[in-house]
Chain A
Amino acid sequence: MDWERHLLIAPILLPLLAGAALLLIDELRHTLKALVNLASTLALLVVAAALLRMADGADAGGGSVSLSYAVADWPAPFAIVLVLDRLSALMQAVTSILALAALVFSLARWHLAGPHFHSLFQFLLMGLGGAFLTGDLFNLFVFFEVTLAASYGLLLHGSGSFRVRSGLHYISINLAASLLFLIGVSLIYGVTGTLNMADLAQRIPEVPADQRMLLQAGAGVLGVAFLVKAGMWPLGFWLTPAYMAAAAPVGAIFVILTKVGIYVLLRLTVLLFGSLSGELAGFGSMALLWGGMATLAFATSGVLASQAMGRLAGYSVLISSGTLLAAVGIGDAAVVSGALFYLVSSTFATAALFLLIELVERAREPGADLLAVTMEAYGDEREETEEPEDEEVGVVLPGALAVLGFCFGCIALLLAGLPPLSGFIAKFAMLTGMLNTAGLGSTQTVPASTWLLAALLILSGLAALVAMLRTGIRTFWAPLETVVPRVLVMEVAPILTLLALCLAMAAGGGALIRYTDAAAHALHDPARYIEAVLGSGNPEGSSR
């Protein structure tokens, strides 16, 4: 159907319009702002579901594997083009689910802690949607910057000395990484004369040998920029303090930010340096594999050494990053399929952990309410006068400690990769892909690096389990005087929803594995991506 194609631009336009409209609404009208934000995020979820269905059905009738949308109907290599395939639809769906969970959580209290929370939230979603859907390197830069600019504001949300200090580091590092991004993009343009990803994939095999080094330098610099965002060791030192400092709902939505870097790396390595690219095939995959393993080792020891729960969550993000980077480095379709499953599962689990931490910390430090302190530091009188009356709104959860403990246990299972939750299936799928590529009973040898990765993967699960157990015992069992935290249903509901989704992913794992399998196989067939983008460039077949 014709109108369906226009849905492709909805994940960018919808949050842009909602965010802009939210700027016009007075800060005092919290409820209205919250409603607009909620409505837009819900609509985004519906759009994401429709996109998921479209992407999954795209090649059912023998059609192309991805759909492209030429913005303003200019033909493909020359203008802005959006591309939807299974991978981008999956990322978009994960983002919208996560956004909804974080938003509902923030509505309990956090959205009052500073101005423009709702606008920034929508702009962040816009940047993410654009980054997942764009088919052009420079637009990728623009959407990355939109995402980052919104994330700078969100990280500082709630203010306070610790947040500002880590915000300063976060912003400086990301600005420097953006400059690397630009250098990489311009070098690639200088060699190939195009920035459209599909066009690039076509032209890279034709690059003359004497220019190949420049192209590799450009791709390498570009890769470093994404690796900084994905938090690869040794480029990821900024990540833990920044994520610790962020307000709980912001930390939850930030989990997807590291996955953007990984998404781009996955997309570009298989498209630009995949099966089509001749002598350049496989460029950078060794660096990703070993870098991912180094990250995994670093984060594993980090998890074990963590005292504060926030730090534990930060290192869990790094574990997830390291695993995914190494899986992208291996690049085999079966491993990538498992990795995509792992991406969804670990994103939900870590985000739920970030949300849970704040609720649990409330039990630890009664009276010293973090929010009240930061509000004071922030010094916005309007907000302060508004705050007390809103404090009482909402249903208080009975048996809070039991529910929190249950959630904590589920997250521990997910992060450690134990059955019956989806973390187990994810790791199992990846390990099967690594060790058993040709089916049972084959005599194919598995490279040593893969064995090492498998060992690290299992060890990181053990470390996560040990660390979570230790923290759990200290938090839920050890205290002599248990303070029951005041937790609203509204705050636990998002966590329970995320965990329920993980359970559903374990129960209905077959459907998701089929989807990620198809996504991974489509990724490893760049010719079809190119055909979908450039083939639709003629006026008749375009997306008017």
Chain B
Amino acid sequence: MELTLAIAIGVLTGSGVWLVLRPRTYQLVIGLSLLSYAVNLFIFSMGRLRVGAAPVLGADGVANPADYADPVPQALVLTAIVIGFATTALLLVVLLVSRGLTGSDHVDGRESR
């Protein structure tokens, strides 16, 4: 499971970085989204990978904290997803405005010569 997750994060980051370095605004947005997926998975993995462990304690108290998954990274991931979603939406708007104003989807507003 560790290997699968590591490869997934690596592939997402690699594709994301490559896309961010491309000149089209659309590629930039997709690249940043892929990067943020990779980062979200990475944060999640920082709580250690567990299968079948609940992150929330039951009402009857804690028998053994080691039986539970760490809830903090999961909360962090939620916050990061929300913030990433909002900022990406904002970037999309700016991208459309830029396309409308300059008539080009190049990140510099004009084709490089």
- Interface, chain A (partner B; CB < 8 A): 138, 141-142, 145, 148-149, 152-153, 156, 159-161, 164-165, 167-169, 171-172, 175-176, 178-179, 182-183, 185-187, 189-190, 195, 377
Contact = CB atoms under 8 A, between A and B. Distances in A.
B63 interface: no
B90 A165 contact: no
Given A167-B94, A176-B35, A183 B101 contact: no
Contacts of B36: 175, 179
Most buried by A among B20, B47, B101: B101
A377 B101 contact: yes
A152 B90 contact: yes
22 contacts: A152-B94, A160-B101, A161-B101, A164-B94, A165-B108, A168-B25, A169-B107, A171-B90, A171-B91, A171-B94, A172-B91, A175-B88, A176-B32, A179-B32, A179-B35, A179-B36, A182-B43, A186-B43, A186-B73, A189-B73, A189-B76, A190-B47
**For chain B, which range describes its interface: under 10, 10 to 19, 20 to 34, or 35 or more residues?**
20 to 34
B46 A189 contact: yes
A54 to B, nearest CB: 30
A411 B57 CA distance: 60
Contact of A186 (B32, B46, B91): B46
Nearest to B28: A172
A186 B75 CA distance: 12
Cβ-closest 4 pairs across A and B: A190-B46, A186-B43, A186-B46, A165-B109
B87 A175 contact: yes
Given A165-B98, A168-B98, A178 B87 contact: yes
Contacts of A195: 72
Given A142-B79, A161-B102, A183-B39, A168 B95 contact: yes
Interface string B100-113: 01100001110000
Given A152-B90, A172-B20, A183-B39, A145 B76 contact: no
Contact of B39 (A160, A182, A377): A182
A167 B72 CA distance: 34
Given A186-B43, A187-B46, A168 B94 contact: yes
Contacts of B8: none
Nearest to B96: A164
Contacts of B86: 149
A440 to B, nearest CB: 51
A171 B90 CA distance: 9
A138 B79 CA distance: 10
The A interface is mostly helix, strand or loop, or mixed, namely helix
Most buried by B among A138, A159, A175, A190: A175
Nearest to A142: B79
A164 B39 contact: no
Nearest to A138: B76
Contacts of A165: 98, 102, 108-109
A149 B35 contact: no
B54 interface: no
A377 B35 CA distance: 34
Given A171-B91, A186-B73, A179 B39 contact: yes
Interface string B51-78: 0000000000000000000001100100
B80 interface: yes
B28 A145 contact: no
A148 to B, nearest CB: 8
